[in-house]
Amino acid sequence: TLSLQTLFRSEAGRSARILEQTVRQQLSDYIVAHQEEFYRLAYSYVKNRDAALDVVQESIVKALAKSDTLRRPEYLKTWFYRILLNESMNHHRRAKRLVPLEDTLLETPAPARDPGERLDLYDAIERLDWKEQTVVRLRFFEDMKLEEIARVTNTNLNTVKSRLYKSLRRLRELTEEEC
């Protein structure tokens, strides 16, 4: 005879497996529906098509492997974007340590910029520090709300706001335009 406790554990295990399958299916659907956005964000960090595809692929692999750690499915978007950002930053760090031989041999000083020359917005964003770039890209390129950005970056909402406004002021200065 089965005890009530054994039956309860069996049902709880079955429910957990169903919930995990549901989360994995939601994750899979989300990935398929938004893959171009993921690529665009990764590319904005790594500036290379193949590297961006690698970052997205690695993010997907990690997300699928860790889908059981997603406690609240309503945070799927911010959870995945955090993984994507972390992978982008990891790639960026690894790439900074590697300097191709051709680059060291052919290094020439960059031509001096005319201070009156207007910077392209993308160039100006590249001049921001990493945290500011992240806030700007998520807010304006990925159309995320400030609360979502705070969750993705694991940062206080007021810190996200101050980084955004500081970044916008800096971009205005760099581009000499009204933002």
pLDDT tens readout for residues 109-132: 444 444 444 458 888 998 999 999
Dist. CA 47–CA 33, nearest whole Å: 23
Cα(115)–Cα(168) distance, rounded to whole angstroms? 20
pLDDT value at residue 6: 62
Strand blocks (E) in 11-164: none
Of 61, 67, 78, 85, the C-alpha closest to 22 is 67
62-114 tens-digit pLDDT: 999 998 888 888 899 999 999 999 999 888 778 766 555 444 444 444 444 44
SS3 90: helix
Quickly count: other Cβ atoms within 10 Å of residue 95's Cβ. 14
pLDDT at 14 over 90: no
Q: Which two tokens stand for residue 134?
A: 């992240």
Q: What is the pLDDT of residue 70?
A: 86
